[in-house]
Structures are given as structure tokens and as C-alpha cells.
Amino acid sequence: MFSQENSTGRPLADAEWLEHHHRAKLLERTAFAKMLASLNPKSIIDLGCATGLWLEIFNQILSSECEFVGIDSDRESLELAAKRSESWQRKTSFMCLDIERDANLIPSGDLTLAFNIFPYVSSTESLLNVLASRVPRGTLAVRQYDGASIRFGPMPTSSRQRLEANLRVATESSQRFRHYDLDRTFDALQCSHYSQKDIGFELFERSSPFSDDFLPYYKESLDWTRSLLSEEVGGDFDEWINSDHHMANRYFYGVDLVALLS
């Protein structure tokens, strides 16, 4: 299976996959980071920081007075993050921590980042309420992809319906993460102990011709999807992929839930 797992077995968390994903969406991610930078945080806590890609963006746009703390349960990813941060002219530290099991050890900060972490958490509500209980509470920034909205195209409706049904069966049997988690996340954010909630959605879209920065993420997304499909549906998917070798008539889009809580 083309799982893109990190060393702890978390799917869609391999360092190379994260790099390609990040590069594909760098324009949108930088814009979001600049919006958060307007809050003038003096400290950032990055939950599930992985290899430090988001902190690298913030390092480029925030003053050196802002302290960074990256938290992840994967030691190999943290080693890469620490190496990435060697040239940063600011106070930076990393913690190897299971953010759900040891949520009470998560430090306070002016700005806490929770980007695509909730599919790996069993009780989103409990984690959010621990975060909200910290003093000072600060601002929690959330980005959560929606597996149900990710779409490759154009594709015949019947083929798409078979693909989506097959993929849902394959991913919903997983005990390691939830690919379709936007509604659970939305409900948990609304019910959390944070008093101020600003929740919305952001579209990510690309159409051919695809840029060199986007292509690796696109192709790996196709490969990951294909690895989960049955032989019959996978064969149809292969036929669709091969029907346009030059990808002259292709699109991709997905939706992220974005939120600020304080």
C-alpha cells in the first residue's frame, strides 16, 4: 500500500509526502500564515509540527522575538524539524509528545497551531477542552482537510461514485486515522470551551497545465487513492489516469475547514 506513513505508522505523514503537499499549497499556506502573523504572537505552539514546514513559513514573516515550540510524537520528524531550524535566529524548541495522551503537558502560547491533526485524535472534544483550559489561553488556529471534498476530474459520474464509495469503505476500516473527519471536527470546535469562534472554509484548486510545484503532490495523491481501491474499481481508475498522459484536461480541488478560537 502507498501509505506515506511516518516512523510511528501514521498515514499521510511521511516527510517526503509532507514536503510535496506543503510545496503544492505554499501560496495558500503563506497567505494564511500572514493572516495569523497579524495577531503579533510572541510565542507559537505547533501541534503535530512534523518536519517543521509551517514553522519555517512563520520564521520568514515573524520577528525574531517570537518563540517557537514544535510538538510531535514522531522522533524522526522532530530530528528533521530541528535540523531545519538550525539557521533560525529565534528561540526554538521541540517536544516529543503524544498530544492526546499527554495533553496536560502542552505549554501555553499566544498562538497554537492545530493543522490536520484531528483525524489522528480519538477524542477531539477532550483535547480542545484541555487546550482551552491553559492559562493564558491564547488563540487556537485550526486547519482541517475534508476527505469527502477532494476531487480529481473530469470523470464520468458513474466512475466517480464507484471510486468514492470504494475509497470510503477502505479508509473507514482504518483505526489509525479518519479520512472523513470534517463534521466531527466542526462539531467539536462549536462545542469547545473557547468563547470566541470564527469558523469558515477555504477552497484549494488547481487546473491543468499543472505547475512543477503541484505535480508531485497530485501524482502521489493519485497513487495513495489507487492503493486503497479494489481490483475492479482500481482498474477503472488506472484507465482514467492513462486516458490523458499529458494531463492536458485535468483539475483537482479540496476544501479545508479553517478556524480561529480564543
Mean pLDDT of the chain: 95
pLDDT, one tens digit per residue, over 97-152 is: 999 999 999 999 999 999 999 999 999 999 999 999 999 999 999 999 999 999 99
Q: Which three cell numbers stand for residue 19?
A: 514536503
Q: Radius of gyration of the chain from Cα atoms?
A: 19
Look at residue 49 in the predicted model and tell me its pLDDT: 98
CA distance 126 to 115: 17
Q: Could you tell me which of 31, 55, 16, 48 has the C-alpha nearest to residue 204?
A: 31
Look at residue 40 in the predicted model and tell me its pLDDT: 98
The confidence band for 2, taking pLDDT boundaries of 50, 70 and 90, is low
pLDDT at position 1 over 50 = no
pLDDT at position 244 over 50 = yes
pLDDT, one tens digit per residue, over 139-174 is: 999 999 999 999 999 999 999 999 999 999 998 877
Distances in Å between the Cα of 156 and the Cα atoms of 96, 221, 260 are: 46, 19, 38
The answer to whether 51 and 20 are in contact (CB under 8 A) is: no
pLDDT, one tens digit per residue, over 62-75 is: 999 999 999 999 99
Cα angle 29, 30, 32 (rounded to 5 degrees) comes to: 65
Domains along the sequence of the chain with CATH = 15-150+177-209+254-261 (3.40.50.150)
Query: Is the entire prediction scored with pTM above 0.85?
Result: yes
